[in-house]
Structure 1
Protein backbone atom coordinates (compact mmCIF):
# COMPACT_ATOMS: atom_id res chain seq x y z
CA UNK A 1 0.00 0.00 0.00
CA UNK A 2 1.20 3.46 -0.94
CA UNK A 3 0.05 6.06 1.57
CA UNK A 4 0.02 9.78 0.88
CA UNK A 5 -1.18 12.41 3.28
CA UNK A 6 -4.39 13.39 1.53
CA UNK A 7 -4.98 10.41 -0.76
CA UNK A 8 -4.58 6.70 -0.04
CA UNK A 9 -3.89 4.21 -2.80
CA UNK A 10 -4.38 0.48 -2.32
CA UNK A 11 -4.31 -2.44 -4.74
CA UNK A 12 -6.15 -5.74 -4.49
CA UNK A 13 -5.54 -7.90 -7.51
CA UNK A 14 -6.36 -5.88 -10.62
CA UNK A 15 -8.50 -3.38 -8.65
CA UNK A 16 -7.06 -0.13 -7.35
CA UNK A 17 -8.83 1.93 -4.69
CA UNK A 18 -8.17 5.64 -4.27
CA UNK A 19 -9.44 6.98 -0.96
CA UNK A 20 -9.86 10.69 -0.27
CA UNK A 21 -8.22 11.11 3.11
CA UNK A 22 -9.35 14.25 4.92
CA UNK A 23 -11.94 12.58 7.17
CA UNK A 24 -12.00 15.39 9.74
CA UNK A 25 -13.09 17.76 6.95
CA UNK A 26 -15.44 15.25 5.27
CA UNK A 27 -12.79 14.84 2.55
CA UNK A 28 -13.48 18.31 1.17
CA UNK A 29 -11.19 19.52 -1.59
CA UNK A 30 -8.14 21.70 -1.12
CA UNK A 31 -5.64 22.54 -3.82
CA UNK A 32 -3.18 20.16 -2.16
CA UNK A 33 -5.65 17.28 -2.27
CA UNK A 34 -6.44 18.07 -5.90
CA UNK A 35 -2.76 17.71 -6.75
CA UNK A 36 -2.42 14.37 -4.98
CA UNK A 37 -5.65 13.01 -6.44
CA UNK A 38 -4.79 13.95 -10.01
CA UNK A 39 -1.33 12.44 -9.63
CA UNK A 40 -2.87 9.21 -8.31
CA UNK A 41 -5.31 9.10 -11.20
CA UNK A 42 -2.55 9.71 -13.76
CA UNK A 43 -0.48 6.96 -12.18
CA UNK A 44 -3.44 4.60 -12.33
CA UNK A 45 -4.11 5.43 -15.98
CA UNK A 46 -0.51 4.54 -16.80
CA UNK A 47 -0.47 1.25 -14.90
CA UNK A 48 -0.97 -1.83 -17.04
CA UNK A 49 -1.70 -3.88 -13.92
CA UNK A 50 -4.86 -1.95 -12.95
CA UNK A 51 -8.08 -3.00 -14.69
CA UNK A 52 -10.67 -1.30 -12.46
CA UNK A 53 -10.58 1.78 -10.23
CA UNK A 54 -12.65 2.49 -7.12
CA UNK A 55 -12.89 5.99 -5.64
CA UNK A 56 -14.17 6.39 -2.09
CA UNK A 57 -13.78 8.53 1.02
CA UNK A 58 -12.24 7.94 4.43
CA UNK A 59 -14.38 8.17 7.55
CA UNK A 60 -18.08 8.94 7.48
CA UNK A 61 -18.24 11.00 4.29
CA UNK A 62 -17.44 10.56 0.62
CA UNK A 63 -16.61 14.17 -0.19
CA UNK A 64 -18.21 17.42 1.00
CA UNK A 65 -17.06 19.37 -2.06
CA UNK A 66 -14.79 22.38 -1.98
CA UNK A 67 -13.28 23.29 1.39
CA UNK A 68 -14.52 26.85 1.84
CA UNK A 69 -11.64 27.49 4.23
CA UNK A 70 -9.12 27.05 1.42
CA UNK A 71 -7.47 30.42 0.62
CA UNK A 72 -8.14 29.75 -3.08
CA UNK A 73 -11.87 30.37 -2.56
CA UNK A 74 -11.60 33.38 -0.26
CA UNK A 75 -13.83 36.35 -1.20
CA UNK A 76 -12.34 38.19 -4.15
CA UNK A 77 -10.70 35.10 -5.63
CA UNK A 78 -11.58 34.03 -9.18
CA UNK A 79 -13.58 30.82 -8.72
CA UNK A 80 -13.60 30.17 -12.45
CA UNK A 81 -9.81 30.07 -12.44
CA UNK A 82 -9.93 27.50 -9.63
CA UNK A 83 -12.32 25.32 -11.63
CA UNK A 84 -10.21 25.49 -14.77
CA UNK A 85 -7.02 24.77 -12.85
CA UNK A 86 -8.31 21.86 -10.74
CA UNK A 87 -11.85 20.62 -11.30
CA UNK A 88 -11.77 20.63 -15.09
CA UNK A 89 -8.63 18.42 -15.25
CA UNK A 90 -10.09 16.16 -12.56
CA UNK A 91 -13.33 15.53 -14.46
CA UNK A 92 -11.58 15.07 -17.79
CA UNK A 93 -9.12 12.62 -16.22
CA UNK A 94 -11.90 10.49 -14.71
CA UNK A 95 -13.98 10.53 -17.89
CA UNK A 96 -10.98 9.44 -19.96
CA UNK A 97 -9.63 6.69 -17.70
CA UNK A 98 -8.66 3.59 -19.68
CA UNK A 99 -10.36 1.40 -17.05
CA UNK A 100 -13.88 1.41 -15.57
CA UNK A 101 -14.30 3.68 -12.54
CA UNK A 102 -16.61 2.92 -9.60
CA UNK A 103 -17.61 5.49 -6.99
CA UNK A 104 -18.16 3.83 -3.61
CA UNK A 105 -20.16 6.53 -1.83
CA UNK A 106 -19.86 5.76 1.86
CA UNK A 107 -21.51 8.92 3.21
CA UNK A 108 -22.50 12.43 2.22
CA UNK A 109 -21.47 13.56 -1.26
CA UNK A 110 -22.08 17.29 -1.53
CA UNK A 111 -21.36 19.94 -4.14
CA UNK A 112 -18.28 19.05 -6.14
CA UNK A 113 -18.14 15.80 -4.17
CA UNK A 114 -21.56 14.75 -5.46
CA UNK A 115 -20.57 15.48 -9.03
CA UNK A 116 -17.21 13.79 -8.60
CA UNK A 117 -19.15 10.61 -7.79
CA UNK A 118 -21.56 11.09 -10.70
CA UNK A 119 -18.61 11.51 -13.08
CA UNK A 120 -17.64 7.91 -12.38
CA UNK A 121 -18.92 5.10 -14.58
CA UNK A 122 -20.84 3.26 -11.86
CA UNK A 123 -22.00 4.69 -8.53
CA UNK A 124 -22.73 2.37 -5.61
CA UNK A 125 -23.90 4.13 -2.45
CA UNK A 126 -24.43 3.05 1.12
CA UNK A 127 -28.02 3.40 2.29
CA UNK A 128 -26.99 6.14 4.74
CA UNK A 129 -25.28 8.15 1.99
CA UNK A 130 -26.81 11.19 0.33
CA UNK A 131 -26.21 13.56 -2.57
CA UNK A 132 -26.54 17.32 -2.26
CA UNK A 133 -26.17 19.92 -5.01
CA UNK A 134 -25.19 22.49 -2.41
CA UNK A 135 -24.15 25.24 -4.84
CA UNK A 136 -27.39 27.25 -4.72
CA UNK A 137 -27.02 27.58 -0.96
CA UNK A 138 -24.00 29.86 -1.46
CA UNK A 139 -25.10 31.61 -4.65
CA UNK A 140 -23.34 29.40 -7.21
CA UNK A 141 -24.26 26.98 -10.01
CA UNK A 142 -23.39 23.27 -10.15
CA UNK A 143 -19.84 22.63 -11.27
CA UNK A 144 -17.51 19.64 -11.61
CA UNK A 145 -19.67 18.61 -14.58
CA UNK A 146 -22.96 18.91 -12.71
CA UNK A 147 -24.73 20.98 -15.37
CA UNK A 148 -23.85 18.33 -17.97
CA UNK A 149 -24.37 15.24 -15.82
CA UNK A 150 -27.61 15.90 -13.94
CA UNK A 151 -30.00 16.40 -16.90
CA UNK A 152 -28.59 13.29 -18.58
CA UNK A 153 -29.04 11.20 -15.45
CA UNK A 154 -32.43 12.31 -14.12
CA UNK A 155 -33.98 14.53 -16.82
CA UNK A 156 -34.29 18.30 -17.08
CA UNK A 157 -37.17 18.81 -14.63
CA UNK A 158 -35.60 16.84 -11.79
CA UNK A 159 -32.12 18.22 -12.49
CA UNK A 160 -33.34 21.80 -12.30
CA UNK A 161 -35.27 21.25 -9.08
CA UNK A 162 -32.37 19.38 -7.46
CA UNK A 163 -29.94 22.14 -8.44
CA UNK A 164 -32.20 25.00 -7.41
CA UNK A 165 -33.38 23.67 -4.06
CA UNK A 166 -30.09 22.13 -2.97
CA UNK A 167 -32.16 19.47 -1.23
CA UNK A 168 -30.53 16.38 0.23
CA UNK A 169 -31.22 13.34 -1.96
CA UNK A 170 -30.94 10.11 0.08
CA UNK A 171 -29.19 7.22 -1.64
CA UNK A 172 -32.40 5.22 -1.99
CA UNK A 173 -34.09 8.13 -3.75
CA UNK A 174 -31.04 8.66 -5.97
CA UNK A 175 -31.23 4.99 -6.91
CA UNK A 176 -34.97 5.17 -7.66
CA UNK A 177 -34.60 8.20 -9.95
CA UNK A 178 -31.67 6.72 -11.88
CA UNK A 179 -29.05 9.11 -10.55
CA UNK A 180 -26.88 6.21 -9.38
CA UNK A 181 -26.52 2.52 -10.19
CA UNK A 182 -27.22 0.95 -6.82
CA UNK A 183 -27.99 1.59 -3.15
CA UNK A 184 -26.88 -1.12 -0.72
CA UNK A 185 -26.91 -1.58 3.03
CA UNK A 186 -23.98 0.16 4.72
CA UNK A 187 -22.50 -3.13 5.92
CA UNK A 188 -22.57 -4.49 2.36
CA UNK A 189 -20.92 -1.54 0.59
CA UNK A 190 -17.34 -2.83 0.63
CA UNK A 191 -18.37 -6.35 -0.36
CA UNK A 192 -20.70 -5.18 -3.13
CA UNK A 193 -18.15 -2.78 -4.60
CA UNK A 194 -15.37 -5.36 -4.34
CA UNK A 195 -17.42 -7.96 -6.19
CA UNK A 196 -18.41 -5.48 -8.91
CA UNK A 197 -14.82 -4.26 -9.30
CA UNK A 198 -13.53 -7.83 -9.64
CA UNK A 199 -16.19 -8.55 -12.24
CA UNK A 200 -15.36 -5.46 -14.30
CA UNK A 201 -11.62 -6.08 -13.97
CA UNK A 202 -12.09 -9.49 -15.61
CA UNK A 203 -14.01 -8.02 -18.55
CA UNK A 204 -12.64 -6.47 -21.78
CA UNK A 205 -11.22 -3.26 -20.30
CA UNK A 206 -10.64 -1.42 -23.56
CA UNK A 207 -14.18 -2.13 -24.76
CA UNK A 208 -15.60 -0.82 -21.46
CA UNK A 209 -13.66 2.44 -21.75
CA UNK A 210 -14.73 2.85 -25.38
CA UNK A 211 -18.35 2.17 -24.36
CA UNK A 212 -18.21 5.08 -21.89
CA UNK A 213 -17.05 7.46 -24.61
CA UNK A 214 -19.48 6.13 -27.20
CA UNK A 215 -22.50 6.62 -24.96
CA UNK A 216 -21.43 10.18 -24.15
CA UNK A 217 -20.66 11.05 -27.77
CA UNK A 218 -23.94 9.59 -29.04
CA UNK A 219 -25.91 12.11 -26.97
CA UNK A 220 -24.83 14.80 -29.44
CA UNK A 221 -25.61 12.80 -32.59
CA UNK A 222 -28.64 11.89 -34.62
CA UNK A 223 -29.41 8.19 -35.08
CA UNK A 224 -27.56 7.82 -38.36
CA UNK A 225 -24.40 9.40 -36.99
CA UNK A 226 -24.58 7.11 -33.94
CA UNK A 227 -24.96 4.07 -36.19
CA UNK A 228 -21.94 5.13 -38.21
CA UNK A 229 -19.93 5.67 -35.03
CA UNK A 230 -20.92 2.19 -33.84
CA UNK A 231 -19.76 0.68 -37.13
CA UNK A 232 -16.39 2.40 -36.85
CA UNK A 233 -15.89 1.28 -33.27
CA UNK A 234 -16.88 -2.31 -34.05
CA UNK A 235 -14.32 -2.31 -36.87
CA UNK A 236 -11.62 -1.21 -34.44
CA UNK A 237 -12.60 -3.52 -31.58
CA UNK A 238 -13.39 -6.43 -33.88
CA UNK A 239 -9.76 -6.61 -34.93
CA UNK A 240 -8.40 -6.53 -31.39
CA UNK A 241 -7.29 -9.38 -29.15
CA UNK A 242 -10.21 -9.25 -26.73
CA UNK A 243 -12.86 -9.85 -29.41
CA UNK A 244 -10.98 -12.81 -30.83
CA UNK A 245 -10.37 -14.13 -27.32
CA UNK A 246 -14.00 -13.66 -26.31
CA UNK A 247 -15.33 -15.50 -29.38
CA UNK A 248 -12.84 -18.34 -28.97
CA UNK A 249 -13.68 -18.68 -25.26
CA UNK A 250 -17.39 -18.74 -26.04
CA UNK A 251 -16.98 -21.40 -28.72
CA UNK A 252 -14.78 -23.57 -26.53
CA UNK A 253 -16.84 -23.05 -23.36
CA UNK A 254 -13.91 -21.71 -21.32
CA UNK A 255 -13.23 -18.58 -19.30
CA UNK A 256 -11.78 -15.78 -21.44
CA UNK A 257 -8.50 -14.00 -20.66
CA UNK A 258 -8.95 -10.38 -21.72
CA UNK A 259 -5.81 -8.25 -21.93
CA UNK A 260 -6.50 -5.20 -24.12
CA UNK A 261 -6.32 -1.72 -22.59
Structure 2
Protein backbone atom coordinates (compact mmCIF):
# COMPACT_ATOMS: atom_id res chain seq x y z
CA UNK A 1 0.00 0.00 0.00
CA UNK A 2 1.16 3.53 -0.76
CA UNK A 3 0.26 6.48 1.47
CA UNK A 4 0.86 10.03 0.29
CA UNK A 5 -0.33 13.35 1.67
CA UNK A 6 -0.84 16.51 -0.35
CA UNK A 7 -0.73 18.80 2.67
CA UNK A 8 -1.22 21.97 0.63
CA UNK A 9 -4.31 20.52 -1.04
CA UNK A 10 -5.55 18.83 2.12
CA UNK A 11 -5.80 15.38 0.46
CA UNK A 12 -4.62 12.02 1.73
CA UNK A 13 -4.02 9.51 -1.08
CA UNK A 14 -4.21 5.80 -0.25
CA UNK A 15 -3.18 3.47 -3.08
CA UNK A 16 -3.68 -0.29 -2.95
CA UNK A 17 -0.34 -1.38 -4.38
CA UNK A 18 -0.19 -5.10 -5.13
CA UNK A 19 -0.87 -4.94 -8.88
CA UNK A 20 0.70 -8.36 -9.48
CA UNK A 21 -2.27 -9.93 -7.59
CA UNK A 22 -4.84 -7.29 -8.62
CA UNK A 23 -4.45 -5.57 -5.24
CA UNK A 24 -5.73 -8.56 -3.26
CA UNK A 25 -5.95 -7.74 0.44
CA UNK A 26 -3.56 -9.50 2.80
CA UNK A 27 -3.02 -8.88 6.51
CA UNK A 28 -0.10 -6.54 5.89
CA UNK A 29 -2.16 -4.33 3.55
CA UNK A 30 -5.12 -4.28 5.96
CA UNK A 31 -2.85 -3.12 8.79
CA UNK A 32 -1.32 -0.44 6.56
CA UNK A 33 -4.77 0.81 5.50
CA UNK A 34 -5.87 1.09 9.11
CA UNK A 35 -2.68 2.95 10.02
CA UNK A 36 -3.19 5.44 7.16
CA UNK A 37 -6.80 6.10 8.17
CA UNK A 38 -5.76 6.62 11.79
CA UNK A 39 -3.21 9.21 10.64
CA UNK A 40 -5.78 10.87 8.36
CA UNK A 41 -8.21 11.16 11.28
CA UNK A 42 -5.57 12.75 13.52
CA UNK A 43 -4.10 15.28 11.06
CA UNK A 44 -5.90 18.60 10.68
CA UNK A 45 -4.17 19.29 7.35
CA UNK A 46 -5.88 16.25 5.78
CA UNK A 47 -9.43 17.29 4.89
CA UNK A 48 -10.41 14.47 2.51
CA UNK A 49 -9.11 10.98 1.67
CA UNK A 50 -8.97 9.13 -1.66
CA UNK A 51 -8.76 5.33 -1.85
CA UNK A 52 -7.61 3.98 -5.23
CA UNK A 53 -5.99 0.94 -6.83
CA UNK A 54 -2.77 0.48 -8.77
CA UNK A 55 -2.77 -1.26 -12.14
CA UNK A 56 -5.71 -2.76 -14.00
CA UNK A 57 -7.99 -3.48 -11.00
CA UNK A 58 -9.18 -1.65 -7.91
CA UNK A 59 -9.21 -4.75 -5.71
CA UNK A 60 -9.69 -8.47 -6.31
CA UNK A 61 -10.87 -9.06 -2.73
CA UNK A 62 -9.07 -11.03 -0.06
CA UNK A 63 -5.81 -12.83 -0.74
CA UNK A 64 -7.12 -16.39 -1.05
CA UNK A 65 -3.67 -17.98 -0.71
CA UNK A 66 -3.19 -16.32 2.66
CA UNK A 67 -6.78 -16.91 3.79
CA UNK A 68 -6.52 -20.65 3.09
CA UNK A 69 -3.75 -20.94 5.69
CA UNK A 70 -5.87 -19.47 8.52
CA UNK A 71 -8.43 -22.13 9.41
CA UNK A 72 -11.96 -21.34 10.65
CA UNK A 73 -10.94 -19.42 13.77
CA UNK A 74 -8.29 -17.51 11.86
CA UNK A 75 -10.86 -16.42 9.26
CA UNK A 76 -13.17 -15.24 12.03
CA UNK A 77 -10.36 -13.25 13.65
CA UNK A 78 -9.44 -11.73 10.28
CA UNK A 79 -12.99 -10.48 9.78
CA UNK A 80 -13.52 -9.32 13.35
CA UNK A 81 -10.09 -7.91 14.18
CA UNK A 82 -8.95 -6.46 10.84
CA UNK A 83 -11.80 -6.12 8.33
CA UNK A 84 -14.47 -4.87 10.75
CA UNK A 85 -12.31 -2.10 12.31
CA UNK A 86 -11.10 -1.03 8.87
CA UNK A 87 -14.64 -0.68 7.50
CA UNK A 88 -15.66 1.27 10.61
CA UNK A 89 -12.69 3.59 10.12
CA UNK A 90 -13.73 4.27 6.52
CA UNK A 91 -17.37 4.86 7.46
CA UNK A 92 -16.73 6.98 10.54
CA UNK A 93 -13.74 9.04 9.39
CA UNK A 94 -14.65 12.66 10.16
CA UNK A 95 -13.67 13.67 6.63
CA UNK A 96 -15.08 12.76 3.20
CA UNK A 97 -13.67 9.54 1.72
CA UNK A 98 -13.65 8.97 -2.05
CA UNK A 99 -13.22 5.54 -3.65
CA UNK A 100 -11.74 5.87 -7.14
CA UNK A 101 -12.34 2.59 -8.94
CA UNK A 102 -9.84 2.32 -11.79
CA UNK A 103 -10.92 -1.23 -12.69
CA UNK A 104 -12.86 -4.29 -11.48
CA UNK A 105 -13.75 -4.60 -7.81
CA UNK A 106 -14.52 -7.98 -6.25
CA UNK A 107 -15.08 -9.68 -2.92
CA UNK A 108 -13.87 -7.75 0.10
CA UNK A 109 -12.89 -4.90 -2.22
CA UNK A 110 -16.61 -4.22 -2.66
CA UNK A 111 -16.92 -3.72 1.09
CA UNK A 112 -14.05 -1.22 1.02
CA UNK A 113 -15.58 0.73 -1.86
CA UNK A 114 -19.11 0.85 -0.45
CA UNK A 115 -17.85 1.95 2.98
CA UNK A 116 -16.59 5.15 1.32
CA UNK A 117 -18.79 8.23 0.99
CA UNK A 118 -18.35 8.71 -2.76
CA UNK A 119 -17.59 6.09 -5.42
CA UNK A 120 -16.14 7.40 -8.67
CA UNK A 121 -15.66 4.65 -11.24
CA UNK A 122 -14.12 4.05 -14.63
CA UNK A 123 -16.31 2.20 -17.13
CA UNK A 124 -14.04 -0.82 -16.64
CA UNK A 125 -14.92 -0.99 -12.92
CA UNK A 126 -17.08 -4.11 -13.06
CA UNK A 127 -18.53 -5.16 -9.70
CA UNK A 128 -18.03 -8.89 -9.08
CA UNK A 129 -19.88 -10.59 -6.21
CA UNK A 130 -19.03 -14.19 -7.07
CA UNK A 131 -18.44 -15.65 -3.60
CA UNK A 132 -20.79 -18.49 -4.49
CA UNK A 133 -18.39 -19.58 -7.26
CA UNK A 134 -15.94 -20.66 -4.54
CA UNK A 135 -18.56 -21.98 -2.08
CA UNK A 136 -18.49 -19.01 0.26
CA UNK A 137 -20.86 -16.24 1.31
CA UNK A 138 -20.13 -12.54 0.78
CA UNK A 139 -18.12 -10.99 3.59
CA UNK A 140 -16.46 -7.66 4.46
CA UNK A 141 -19.99 -6.30 5.12
CA UNK A 142 -20.91 -6.59 1.44
CA UNK A 143 -24.39 -7.97 2.25
CA UNK A 144 -24.93 -5.16 4.77
CA UNK A 145 -24.00 -2.46 2.27
CA UNK A 146 -25.91 -4.00 -0.65
CA UNK A 147 -29.15 -4.31 1.32
CA UNK A 148 -28.78 -0.73 2.56
CA UNK A 149 -28.03 0.67 -0.88
CA UNK A 150 -30.34 -1.27 -3.18
CA UNK A 151 -32.83 -3.21 -1.03
CA UNK A 152 -33.22 -6.90 -0.20
CA UNK A 153 -34.48 -8.30 -3.52
CA UNK A 154 -31.89 -6.59 -5.72
CA UNK A 155 -29.18 -7.54 -3.23
CA UNK A 156 -30.29 -11.17 -3.24
CA UNK A 157 -30.00 -11.34 -7.01
CA UNK A 158 -26.38 -10.21 -6.83
CA UNK A 159 -25.62 -12.49 -3.88
CA UNK A 160 -27.25 -15.66 -5.21
CA UNK A 161 -26.47 -15.43 -8.92
CA UNK A 162 -23.08 -13.78 -8.59
CA UNK A 163 -23.19 -12.33 -12.09
CA UNK A 164 -20.79 -9.42 -12.74
CA UNK A 165 -22.41 -6.00 -12.72
CA UNK A 166 -21.15 -3.42 -15.21
CA UNK A 167 -20.12 -0.01 -13.92
CA UNK A 168 -23.11 1.56 -15.68
CA UNK A 169 -25.49 -0.94 -14.03
CA UNK A 170 -23.89 -0.33 -10.62
CA UNK A 171 -24.41 3.39 -11.14
CA UNK A 172 -28.03 2.87 -12.15
CA UNK A 173 -28.63 0.91 -8.92
CA UNK A 174 -27.04 3.66 -6.83
CA UNK A 175 -23.86 1.77 -5.88
CA UNK A 176 -21.54 4.10 -7.82
CA UNK A 177 -21.73 7.89 -7.64
CA UNK A 178 -20.32 8.65 -11.10
CA UNK A 179 -19.00 6.58 -14.03
CA UNK A 180 -16.58 8.05 -16.58
CA UNK A 181 -14.10 6.95 -19.21
CA UNK A 182 -10.98 5.55 -17.57
CA UNK A 183 -8.77 8.34 -18.89
CA UNK A 184 -11.09 10.89 -17.23
CA UNK A 185 -11.14 9.22 -13.79
CA UNK A 186 -7.96 10.80 -12.42
CA UNK A 187 -9.07 14.33 -13.29
CA UNK A 188 -12.57 13.77 -11.88
CA UNK A 189 -11.15 12.31 -8.66
CA UNK A 190 -8.79 15.25 -8.23
CA UNK A 191 -11.61 17.71 -8.88
CA UNK A 192 -13.86 16.11 -6.24
CA UNK A 193 -11.02 15.72 -3.73
CA UNK A 194 -9.93 19.34 -4.02
CA UNK A 195 -13.50 20.58 -3.79
CA UNK A 196 -14.26 18.52 -0.68
CA UNK A 197 -10.95 19.47 0.94
CA UNK A 198 -11.93 23.13 0.66
CA UNK A 199 -15.31 22.49 2.28
CA UNK A 200 -16.62 22.77 5.85
CA UNK A 201 -15.05 19.60 7.25
CA UNK A 202 -16.84 19.69 10.61
CA UNK A 203 -20.22 20.05 8.92
CA UNK A 204 -19.33 17.19 6.56
CA UNK A 205 -18.44 14.99 9.54
CA UNK A 206 -21.76 15.59 11.28
CA UNK A 207 -23.72 15.15 8.05
CA UNK A 208 -21.90 11.85 7.39
CA UNK A 209 -22.84 10.49 10.79
CA UNK A 210 -26.43 11.63 10.42
CA UNK A 211 -26.69 9.97 6.99
CA UNK A 212 -25.31 6.69 8.35
CA UNK A 213 -27.69 6.78 11.32
CA UNK A 214 -30.73 7.75 9.21
CA UNK A 215 -31.28 4.16 8.07
CA UNK A 216 -31.48 2.74 11.58
CA UNK A 217 -32.94 5.43 13.83
CA UNK A 218 -36.62 6.14 14.46
CA UNK A 219 -37.72 9.55 13.19
CA UNK A 220 -37.69 11.34 16.55
CA UNK A 221 -34.30 9.90 17.51
CA UNK A 222 -32.92 11.10 14.18
CA UNK A 223 -34.39 14.58 14.72
CA UNK A 224 -32.72 14.69 18.15
CA UNK A 225 -29.40 13.94 16.48
CA UNK A 226 -30.02 16.49 13.73
CA UNK A 227 -31.01 19.32 16.07
CA UNK A 228 -28.05 18.75 18.41
CA UNK A 229 -25.58 18.60 15.52
CA UNK A 230 -26.95 21.70 13.81
CA UNK A 231 -26.92 23.66 17.09
CA UNK A 232 -23.23 22.83 17.58
CA UNK A 233 -22.39 23.76 13.99
CA UNK A 234 -23.91 27.22 14.45
CA UNK A 235 -21.03 27.98 16.82
CA UNK A 236 -18.32 26.67 14.47
CA UNK A 237 -15.75 28.92 12.79
CA UNK A 238 -16.77 27.57 9.37
CA UNK A 239 -20.42 28.50 9.90
CA UNK A 240 -19.45 32.03 10.93
CA UNK A 241 -17.23 32.27 7.86
CA UNK A 242 -20.00 30.92 5.64
CA UNK A 243 -22.46 33.54 6.89
CA UNK A 244 -19.91 36.33 6.53
CA UNK A 245 -19.05 35.22 2.98
CA UNK A 246 -22.73 35.00 2.04
CA UNK A 247 -23.43 38.53 3.29
CA UNK A 248 -20.30 39.88 1.59
CA UNK A 249 -21.14 38.01 -1.64
CA UNK A 250 -17.73 36.31 -1.76
CA UNK A 251 -16.59 32.66 -1.79
CA UNK A 252 -16.13 31.24 1.73
CA UNK A 253 -12.69 30.24 2.99
CA UNK A 254 -13.39 27.29 5.23
CA UNK A 255 -10.78 26.00 7.67
CA UNK A 256 -12.47 22.78 8.69
CA UNK A 257 -13.17 24.00 12.24
In the alignment, is residue 230 of structure 1 matched against residue 222 of structure 2? no
Q: Deviations over 1:183-202 (max 9, x none)?
A: 11111000011101111111
Q: Deviations over 1:88-140 (max 9, x none)?
A: 11101111112100000000110000111111000000011111123222222
Mark the runs of 5 or more structure 1 residues left unpaired by the alignment: 1-5
Flag the 1:240–1:75 CA change in 2: closer, same or farther, 3 A.
Answer: closer
In the alignment, is residue 150 of structure 1 matched against residue 185 of structure 2? no
The answer (yes or no) to whether the contact 1:66–1:112 under 8 Å persists in 2 is yes
Q: 2:185 aligns with which of 180, 189, 197?
A: 189
Q: Residue 69 of structure 2 aligns with which residue?
A: 74
Q: Could you say what secondary structure the match of 1:169 adopts? A: coil
Separation in 1, partners of 2:166, 2:117: 20
The answer (yes or no) to whether the contact 1:21–1:58 under 8 Å persists in 2 is yes
Q: 1:220 aligns with which of 216, 219, 223?
A: 216
Separation in 2, partners of 1:258, 1:143: 39
Flag the 1:59–1:48 CA change in 2: closer, same or farther, 3 A.
Answer: same
How many residue pairs are counted as aligned between the two chains?
Answer: 255
Q: 1:254 aligns with which of 215, 234, 250?
A: 250
User: Greater strand percent: which structure?
Assistant: 1
Moved more, 215-224 or 94-103: 215-224
Deviation at 1:179, TM superposition (A): 1.0
Q: TM-score, normalised by structure 1?
A: 0.93
Deviation at 1:43, TM superposition (A): 1.2
Q: Residue 97 of structure 2 aligns with which residue?
A: 101
Q: Considering only aligned residues, what root-mean-square deviation do their CA atoms show, in Å?
A: 1.4
Q: TM-score, normalised by structure 2?
A: 0.95
Q: Residue 132 of structure 2 aligns with which residue?
A: 136
Deviation at 1:169, TM superposition (A): 0.8
In the alignment, is residue 206 of structure 1 matched against residue 202 of structure 2? yes
Q: Residue 118 of structure 2 aligns with which residue?
A: 122
Deviation at 1:213, TM superposition (A): 0.9
